[in-house]
Structure formats: C-alpha cells, structure tokens
Chains A and B, each alone.
Chain A
Amino acid sequence: MLLKPLAERRSGRFSRERPAPHETRVRVPEAALTRDVGGREFVAFVVDVRYGSKWQEDAIVGCAYRASGNLFIERDNEYFPAALLLGKQVNAVAGVCRAAPARS
C-alpha cells in the first residue's frame, strides 16, 4: 500500500533526493493489536532500507489501522497521514498511533 507507490515515485534520478534504497523490508515489532485513545485498533510498523550491505533500521516509523486501513507515519514526534510521503500536503493528526494509557 505504501512501499509500491513510494518505489514508483523514486526513479534514481539526477537529483539531490536520497537515492532509492537497494532493498526495503517492513517489520512489525509487536504482532498484537494496540488501541489508541479513541479505542481504535492499530498495529505499529517500521520500514528498514538497505544501501550497499548496510541496513538502516527505522527509516520510516508508522502505524496501520485495522478497521479503516489508514496509514500514518511519524515525523518529529508527530503522526501524519502516509500520503505525506507521496508529496501530499497534509497536517499532523493528534492522538493516532499512540497507545491509550493502561487502566488501573
């Protein structure tokens, strides 16, 4: 959903943008679903990229919502819709991708 459009967008061009990674992998650190403050279930994910022989972990950090399928990515401790990576001008969304405090 995210990696394919990203790969299509990058094309190893004559530009100062970061070159396309030689390999990309997605990890899900915790398989269990988490609930945010609104009670919606999401799962966190990270994307690692490889340049040469070296893997750079956590190149993209984000979360995916189970019911809606919405993807968010983290930038400067804020979460934005993943469309940001595709160049869309979007604002940070408060309260997403953060686990609700545990009830005592």
Chain B
Amino acid sequence: MGTFTGQTDGTARDALSLHPRSARALPSIHEKTKSFEGVPRRRGVRKFFSHWVGRGFLILMLVGSALITAMSLPYFDFETLPPFVVEKLPLKFEALWLAALRVHVAAAALGFPLCLGLMTRALQKRPLWHRWIGRAAGVIVLFALVPSGFVLSSEAKGGRIVTVGFVLSGLIVGSAMVSGVRAARRRDLTSHARAMRHVIGQMSVAVVSRALIVGLDAAGIDPDLAYVVALWAPVLATVAVVEVISRRPMAWSRHRVELVERITRELSPLALVVRIRAFVRPLARFGR
C-alpha cells in the first residue's frame, strides 16, 4: 500500500499490469494515496473534535457553575429574600425550604466543580487525588445535593410535571453516583466512567436549563412553558447523549491503556503485596 507512494503513476500501473483485471481494478496513485491517507486523517480530525468538544464542555460548565454560584449569593442574605423565593411565597414549610435551598446551592457550588475536575485527564492521571476528591464529591452529592434537591422539588414552579422532572434528575444523580462508586470499588472502570458521566450530565442540566430559559425568553416563549421545556429537554437529552457516548466503541490509545493500567494498579490489592515483598525481601536477604 504505502510502497506506491513516491512512485510515478506509470511505474505502479506497470508493476501490476500483468493481470488485466488487476490493472482495471487498480485506481490511480493519486486516488489510492487519498483513500489510504484519509482514514488516519479522518480519525485525527474526529479525535481533535472530540477532544475539544470535551474540553469546551468542561470549560462552559465551569463558567456556568461560577455564574450560578455568583447569582445564588443573595440566597445567603438572611434579611432579604431573593426574587426566586418571593415568587413562591407563602410556602408551607418556609424555614425547611429555605434551609434546603441554601444547602443545595452550597453543595452544588462545591460539588459541581469538583466533579468537573475529576473528569479531567490531569486528575485521572493522579489516582490518589482522584480517589480522595471523588470521595469528597460523592459525600457532597449523596448527602447534601440530592436530599436537599428532593425537598426543593416539592415546591417547584410549574407544578407536578416540574416536580417529577427534578425528582427524576435527582434519582439519576443518586443512583449513578452509588453505582459509579461500587464500580470503582470492583475496579470496573468502564462502568465507573459511564455512571459518572450520568452524574455530570444531570448536574450540567442546571447550567443548560438556565441558558435555555434565557434563550426561550428572548424568543418570546411563555415563561411557564419555557420553564418546563428547559427542565425536561436537558434531563432527557443528557441521558441519551451519555448512553451514546458510553456505548460508542472506543479505540483505546496506548496512552489511555497505560492510564487505566496505572489506576488499576493503584486500586489493586496486589500492589500492596508487591510493596510488602519489596520491603521484606531485602530484609530476608540481610538475615541470611
């Protein structure tokens, strides 16, 4: 295949022109070179785009998370209620609801950037850091973010359909976090990655949904309808996108294989045995 490159058109044809059928089937050198070079080029382009789409998503989510945090600071003003809360007044359990709102906002402000950081190659290359930050993020999500979200969903704007949307999103986050942690503990890194993508995906709904609310308002859509669409569309779309990404056959690069091997080694009890042996052997030799 590659040997044709550098040869003239005539030489290549002459070399294979002994059989008339093969000569007929042989495309020109120009075509051949194009078709063989196209495969790695296309792969390269796809890799380039998937890399930058992933990076772009992380950056956008970080910016969105920072914006939401900045906009949510008035929730911690105990004298004045923010407009989002005023719209809901009077509430049945106002003190509980306000406490849940503050816990939810604080947990999201901490948990979402941590989860985004855990998706970066920089932290995935450092298994010890990844594990400890992952534990912190897991605790925040499971014991603060999700339970407070359930409390808030009971008084969601837009009625039951919105409540169900928030509860569904919370259930996905909670169950994916539990199954992701369990997968990590049994060293099933593929399932771990899939579950954590669901967690990140549902957390990203907070950003996408707000962006949609702004966009639909600019388009003159009724805010009540916009609120429902801006919740349900990202919740369902995110589940679909994560499943598509997770089921896509991955060409594992040498770099990625090395990374997974390294993480597995870090998690493996064998590593402990090897370390103990490395410590004991010289001592045993010393004792002889």
Contacts and interface: CB of A to CB of B under 8 A. Distances in A.
Interface of A: 9-10, 12-19, 22, 51-54, 75-76, 78, 84-89
5 contacts: A15-B68, A15-B72, A16-B157, A51-B221, A85-B86
A33 B87 CA distance: 29
Contacts of A87: 80-83, 85-86
Contacts of A13: 71
A51 B80 contact: no
A90 to B, nearest CB: 10
B222 interface: yes
Contacts of B223: 18-19, 51
A9 B80 CA distance: 12
Contacts of A75: 89-90
A19 B217 contact: yes
Q: Is the interface of A mostly helix, strand, loop or mixed?
A: loop
Given A15-B210, A19-B214, A51 B86 contact: no
Given A54-B222, A75-B90, A14 B217 contact: no
A17 B84 contact: yes
B213 interface: yes
Contacts of A17: 82-84, 87
Nearest to B156: A16
Given A51-B220, A52-B222, A14 B210 contact: yes
5 tightest A-B CB contacts, nearest first: A52-B220, A87-B80, A17-B84, A19-B217, A87-B81
Given A9-B83, A17-B82, 17 more contacts: A14-B67, A14-B210, A14-B211, A14-B214, A15-B68, A16-B84, A16-B210, A16-B227, A18-B83, A51-B221, A51-B222, A51-B223, A52-B222, A75-B89, A78-B90, A86-B80, A87-B86
A17 B83 CA distance: 7
Contact of A16 (B81, B89, B213): B213
Interface string B192-220: 00000000000000000111011001011
A62 B79 CA distance: 24
A12 B214 CA distance: 8
Given A87-B81, A89-B81, A76 B90 contact: yes
Nearest to B211: A14
